[in-house]
Amino acid sequence: MYQQIGENSFDGIKNCLLYTRVSTDRQVKEGHSFEDQIDRLTKFARERNWHIIDVYKDGGKSGKSTTGRPEFNRMLERCESDPDVHAVLLEETDRFARNAQDHLAVKAFLKKHNVLLIATEQPNFGDDPVGKFVDLIMAGANQLQREITGQKTKRTMVALAEKGIQPGGAVLGYLNSFKKDVPWLLDDERVPFVKEIFQRYKTGNYSVQTLEEMMYQEGFRTKNGKRVHSSQIHRMLTDVRYCGWVKYDGKVYKNGQHPKIVNVSDIKQAEAIMKKHNKGADRSRKHNWFLAGLTFCKACGSLMSGEEHIKKSGHINRYYRCLGPKNYTQDCSQPYANMEAVHEQLGQWIASLQFDEQFYDELRLELRSLMSNQGTDIFGQLKSLKKRKEAIEKKMDKIEDQLLSEVIPQERLEKKYSPLREELKSVEAKIEKLSRPSANLDEDKIEKIITFMKRLPELYEAFTKPEKRQFLRWFAQKIWVEDKKIADITYTDGFQALVDRDLVRISETWLPD
């Protein structure tokens, strides 16, 4: 296990190795990164009266994988063969691995040989690979738990929608009644603005961006006093709830009880103008295949790309296509595979994984180690950051008001506004980092992670597509497709190590006939 400064588990350390790495040839030539790292690590060791046995330096090497780094591998060999090595010092864990599987595999190797890995300047927990994996598992676990506990809530919401009561928070122009079976009420302050937006947009002379600025100048604000952005106006113009209908869970109910602000014809007219402005095109990214970059053709070894084709009948065909013939002008006897079949088979593979109890014990110990390294006053830090965020936002609001009233020249205001905007981004990033599950580990969360890891198929299905992709990359380097089915999977080094140690068993029932 690696430890941070301040841990009391350094007893018994007398000798250590130093490991440094720079990722670009330019840094190697300049020499600064090596020198800085070695100086700081040497100081850390000398302050504790530790003897430095050797220094290992990898230049121009990426931390993406532990392969292809000769000095790093020499260091591991030294740890394995020399019992006098008690610790390896490095500045941050990403000096040796940026992915969770290598991270855990190396730590397990060093632990086996009684060598402590010490990150002298470890970043906030959550930035390291294991922290990211914990966040991913917790995201899936929380989503699955919401799905399990949310069924009753959903039934209640559907019942309300069927009665014509719109569930959820009121959109701009309406107010929640906060009474059972009482529909939304009109927000008299904002209704005139909503009507004006529809009226002006119907002329075809205004874009949503223009309307955003015009309405802001005329005083249109959110319930929190913020600017109403063009994205909100875009949604408003196509939202059937404004014509008195109810929308919930992808369904529309025309028996809404809340009063309408505009007519159905107004919304249809807005949709037609929007289509004309866009020339019928959808400029958003249409597809985000979650196996992108993972799927390969077994027949020719080329990468496979996701594609979608709509037939004249309206039927949609989605499949993975081998890029060999297109990009490398090479023949391929099996260029296509049905996407749905590949995804279904992948789910079967996930269901076939069976982890040994020893794996869960080791994972539990790892998480407890990480828990001991996290800050003790996360709540206090979050509270302080949120107060700072509120203070910055108040200053920004004041500047926006001054800009609107033209009390102070715009150039002068912009000089004050820009630093606040950057500071706000920094504060929000820190709040987001400290709000992650991995920054607030406790025994309950650890056991929750273990519990949901034992329910891997359900956890996997609960993930969003981006989360599924991130999750799969912890297990699989390449997914090989042959005869329109998954033929094989190349495991990551870390997962392969678990398989080799018999900590995970994979049933062969998922393989194609």
pLDDT at 267: 93
> Rounded to an integer, what is the distance from CA 350 to the centroid of its chain?
21
Which stretch, 70-79, 106-115, 256-265, has highest mean pLDDT?
256-265
In the predicted model, is pLDDT for residue 269 greater than 60? Answer: yes
**Cα–Cα distance, 150 to 87 (Å, whole number):** 49
The pLDDT of 185-190, averaged and rounded, is: 95
For the cut 50, the answer to whether the pLDDT of residue 216 exceeds it is yes
| Average pLDDT rounded to a whole number, residues 334-348 | 87
Taking the CA atoms of 285, 467, 169 and 220 in sequence, report the sign of the dihedral they define.
Answer: negative
**Tokens found for residue 359:** 């794996």
More confident residue, 513 or 284: 513
The share of the chain scoring above pLDDT 90, in percent, equals 24
Greater confidence, 200 or 10? 200
Write the CB contacts of 364 (distance below 8 Å, at least 6 apart in sequence). 446, 450
2-123: in CATH 3.40.50.1390: yes
pLDDT at site 228: 93
Phi-psi region of 316 (alpha: psi -120 to 50; beta: other; left: phi over 0): beta
Least confident segment among 48-52, 192-196, 250-254, 320-324:
320-324
pLDDT digits (tens, 9 = 90+) for 459-483: 888 887 777 887 888 888 899 998 8
What is the predicted pLDDT for the residue at 329?
59
Instruction: With beta carbons less than 8 A apart as the criterion, state whether 369 and 1 touch.
Output: yes
Please give the share of the chain, as a percent, with pLDDT higher than 70.
77
Return the top range by mean pLDDT from 195-199, 350-354, 412-416. Answer: 195-199
Q: Which of the residue ranges 25-39, 434-448, 464-478 would you say has the lowest mean pLDDT? A: 25-39
Lowest mean pLDDT across 3-12, 33-42, 359-368: 3-12
Cα 220 from chain centroid (whole Å)? 34
| pLDDT (mean) for 444-468 | 83
Q: In the predicted model, is pLDDT for residue 263 greater than 90?
A: yes
Q: Is the pLDDT reported for residue 138 higher than 70? A: no
The CATH homologous superfamily of the domain defined by 163-277: Putative Large Serine Recombinase; Chain B, Domain 2 (3.90.1750.20)
| Cβ–Cβ under 8 Å, residues 251 and 230 | no
**CB 504, CB 453: distance < 8 Å:** no
What's residue 490's pLDDT?
A: 92
Residue 78 pLDDT > 90, yes or no?
yes
CA 217 and chain centroid, separation: 36
Two tokens, residue 136: 């991913």
pLDDT-based confidence at 139, cuts 50/70/90? low
Contact indicator for 114, 108 with CB cutoff of 8 Å: no
Per-domain boundaries in the chain? 2-123, 163-277, 375-440
Q: Which of 277, 204, 189, 201 is nearest to 237 (CA)?
A: 201
Cβ atoms 264, 173 nearer than 8 A: no
pLDDT confidence of residue 126: 43
What's the CA gap between 274 and 306, in Å, rounded?
29
Q: How far is CA 169 from CA 166, 194, 264, 336, in A?
A: 9, 17, 22, 46
Q: How many angstroms separate the CA atoms of 15 and 17, rounded?
A: 7
- Cα torsion through 131, 136, 137, 138, rounded to 10: 90
Instruction: Look up residue 448 and give its DSSP letter.
Output: H
Strands (E), 131-189: 174-175, 185-186
Main-chain dihedrals φ then ψ at residue 250, nearest 5 degrees: 80, 0
> What pLDDT score was predicted for residue 199?
92
Is pLDDT at 31 greater than 70 in this prediction?
Answer: no
Nearest CA among 304, 350, 349 for reference residue 327: 304
The encoded tokens of residue 431 equal 């709040």
Q: What tokens appear for 510 in the block?
A: 């998922």
Tell me how far apart the alpha carbons of residues 200 and 236 are, in angstroms, rounded to a whole number: 13
pLDDT at 4: 40
- Helix pair 100-112, 493-500: axis angle to 10 deg: 40
CB 183 within 8 A of CB 168: no
Alpha-carbon span 135 to 367, nearest angstrom: 12
> What tokens does 178 get?
């906060």
Bridge partners, residue 69, by sequence: none
Residue 32: which residues within 8 A CB-CB, separation 6 or more?
Answer: none
What digits encode the pLDDT tens for the residues 284-326? 445 567 787 889 988 888 888 888 887 777 788 888 888 876 5
User: For the chain, what is the largest distance between any 2 Cα atoms, rounded to a whole number of angstroms?
Assistant: 82
